[in-house]
Amino acid sequence: DIQMTQSPSSLSASVGDRVTITCRASQSISSYLNWYQQKPGKAPKLLIYAASSLQSGVPSRFSGSESGTDFTLTISSLQPEDFATYYCQQSYSTPGITFGPGTKVDIK
Amino acid sequence: EVQLVESGGGLVQPGRSLRLSCAASGFTFDVYAMHWVRQAPGKGLEWVSGISWNSGSIGYADSVRGRFTISRDNAKNSLYLQMNSLRAEDTALYYCAKDRRETFYYGSADYWGQGTLVTVSS
């Protein structure tokens, strides 16, 4: 099975900060990497699909990139509504679709 | 407006069965793949199972393979998860999610329900 790791597991940041979250796959997953945002008590929300494609309706301050088996979610200027937990997900390995363990972003 | 409404959760004893349902509306159900994803209390997300638009391709996580069965009824715009031989570690909030594509592999879940809670305990 493909293992996904995320770093950091948590971070504290201020409004306006540039935030970067990294996800690493244990083997090649091509570009089949998605990013989700989840707020407490809410269902996850798709932010980025196929490593770098912005989901419709998602603010442009969110972006995704890839380098080999390393993937990055960047929030260019953190807004109050962005404090949440972020998960990466690989959908390359079937049937073993897997999520990363999550990165919690909270207020500094 | 896309809506996914899960039902069928509840308290069940270990070893027993439960069937979850997901009623879909607001989109052409028989075009898209669907998923079940679960989240244990205070934990992260775990993909459980996926099914393609025509049920031709189905997949399961190792943790549920052989015990859970996913199915869909396109005429009823509904997704199901039959869960047998339930264990304490199956306790979680179970989400139904729509894929952006017709196949669940290589895809991504663009709409999610609010979940139905399954508690396995004696």
Running along chain A, 108 residues long, what does each successive block of 10 average in pLDDT? 95 97 96 97 98 98 98 97 97 87 95
- The first and second tokens of residue B95, run together, are 């989400």
Summarize pLDDT for B17-31 with one digit per residue, the tens: 999 999 999 999 999
3-class DSSP state for residue B90? Answer: helix
Report the residue from A32, A46, A92 with minimal CB separation from B109.
A46
CB atoms within 10 A of CB A15: 12
Summarize pLDDT for B110-122 with one digit per residue, the tens: 999 999 999 999 9
The mean of the pLDDT values for chain B is: 97
What pLDDT does residue A108 have? 86
Amino acid, res. A23: C
What pLDDT does residue A8 have? 98
Report the residue from A46, A87, A95 with minimal CB separation from B110.
A46
Distance from CA of B97 to the nearest CA of A (A): 10
Of chain B, the percentage scoring pLDDT greater than 70 comes to: 100
What pLDDT does residue B104 have? 86
Distances (CA, A) of B57 to B52, B60, B86, B114: 5, 11, 24, 25
Distances (CA, A) of B100 to A71, A107, B112: 21, 32, 11
What pLDDT does residue A1 have? 83
Spell out a b/e string for B52-65, using b for 16 or more CB atoms within 10 Å of the CB, else e: bbeeebbbbbeebe
The average pLDDT across B40-48 equals: 97
Tell me: pLDDT of B108 over 90.
Answer: yes
Work out the pLDDT band at B48, boundaries 50, 70, 90.
Answer: very high
CA separation for the pair B25, B3 (Å, rounded): 5
Interface mutation vs chain B, best among A94, A98, A103, most B CBs within 10 Å: A94
Q: Which residues of B touch A36 (CB under 8 A)?
A: 45, 109
Question: Which of A75, A45, A95, A24 minimizes the C-alpha distance to B45?
Answer: A45
What pLDDT does residue A95 have? 67
Supply the DSSP string of B7-23, one letter for each residue: E--EEE-TT--EEEEEE
Which ranges of A5-91 does DSSP label H, i.e. alpha helix?
A: none
